[in-house]
């Protein structure tokens, strides 16, 4: 699918869409793009309208100097849905996209029919050390050297790059390499740094949804994780499952962080079963007041 573009607030937002039916919106992770979902979109589109945006600062979307917080990303998704005429959707988020999905459900609960968290950020402190390092002061001056095309090309011949991330070859390596090569452009590097610093510091993830997960009690929630995730540990999946009553947990063996890339068939099967066996959430403001007053 070729990218389409929507002009929102003066910036071009790229997205890919396919299919017809209830809407599934797919939100990629940091330094990624809608290409993260390329192996799962065709089958999902058989019975759904699938929308996969490139977040601002990522992929083919504009990379302005601006706000790269979770709240800003959530507002951007809301605006794109409005432009495309989609009133509600099952919101699926991978890694950083999981944090964006939770923020969207929190800020705009009327838009969220279901919530799917895939190796999601924002559910605990622990995160890979390389991402913590990017949050350090001065990293924006190192990245242009690290991601220079000549360094990138040399790293491609060495192969140790993926090992330091705890990754193997194949589809997963291809996804990480796609993200890495996208950061050779300065504006993309700056968006990457600003996004990292909005959610991570040297001690780990500094934004957590755990104290508000009780608000998802009425929202059908699916949690999908790879048992061998070396970016965000699978323990976050189990803890989140306990904190969201009625949530469904799927842990896939011998898989790392990029579940939709490494095991697209198993991911699609879990998502299709989830949407087929749950009723869409309908926001009730009186119920929200009840939950908030009970805390």
pTM metric for this prediction: 0.89
221 touches 248 (CB < 8 A): yes
The one catalytic residue in 48, 120, 229, 247 is 229
**Tokens 């017809």, residue?**
20
pLDDT at position 149: 57
Residue ranges and CATH numbers for the domains of the chain are 4-125+207-293 (3.40.50.1820)
Note down pLDDT in tens along the chain; length 295 residues.
789 999 999 999 999 999 999 999 999 999 899 999 999 999 999 999 999 999 999 999 999 999 999 999 999 999 999 999 999 999 999 999 999 999 999 999 999 999 999 999 999 999 998 889 888 888 766 766 555 555 455 445 444 554 455 444 444 445 555 555 556 677 888 888 999 999 999 999 999 999 999 999 899 999 999 999 999 999 999 999 999 989 999 999 999 999 999 999 999 999 999 999 999 999 999 999 999 998 7
229 carries an active-site annotation: yes
Distance CA 251, CA 238 (A): 9
Q: Quick one: which H or E segment has residue 272?
A: helix 264-277
The one catalytic residue in 95, 120, 179, 198 is 95
Give which of 233, 235, 228 is closest to 254, Cα–Cα.
228
């Amino acid at each position: 699918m070729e990218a389409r573009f929507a002009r929102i607030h003066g910036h071009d937002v790229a997205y890919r869409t396919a299919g017809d039916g209830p809407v599934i919106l797919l939100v990629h992770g940091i330094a990624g793009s809608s290409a993260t979902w390329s192996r799962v979109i065709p089958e999902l589109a058989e019975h759904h309208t699938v929308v996969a945006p490139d977040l601002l600062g990522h992929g083919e979307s504009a990379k302005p100097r601006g706000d790269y917080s979770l709240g800003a990303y959530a507002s951007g998704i809301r605006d794109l849905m409005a432009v495309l005429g989609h009133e509600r959707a099952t919101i699926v988020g991978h890694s950083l996209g999981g944090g964006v999905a939770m923020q969207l459900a929190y800020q705009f609960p009327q838009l969220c029919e279901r919530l799917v968290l895939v190796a999601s950020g924002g559910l605990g402190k622990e995160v890979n050390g390389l991402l913590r390092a990017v949050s350090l002061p001065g990293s924006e001056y190192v990245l242009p050297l690290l991601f220079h095309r000549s360094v990138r090309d040399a790293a491609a011949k060495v192969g140790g790059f993926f090992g330091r991330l705890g990754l193997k070859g194949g589809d997963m390596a291809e996804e990480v390499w796609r993200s890495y090569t996208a950061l050779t452009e300065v504006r993309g590097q700056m968006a990457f740094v600003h996004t990292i610093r909005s959610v991570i510091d040297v001690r780990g993830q500094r934004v957590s949804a755990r104290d508000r997960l009780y608000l998802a009690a009425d929202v059908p929630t699916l949690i999908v994780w790879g048992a061998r995730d070396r970016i965000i540990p699978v323990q976050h999946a189990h803890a989140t499952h306990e904190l969201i009553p009625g949530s469904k947990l799927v842990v896939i063996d011998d898989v790392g962080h990029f579940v939709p890339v490494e095991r697209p068939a198993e991911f699609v099967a879990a998502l299709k079963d989830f949407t087929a066996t749950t009723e869409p959430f309908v926001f009730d403001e009186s119920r929200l007041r009840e939950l908030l007053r009970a805390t």
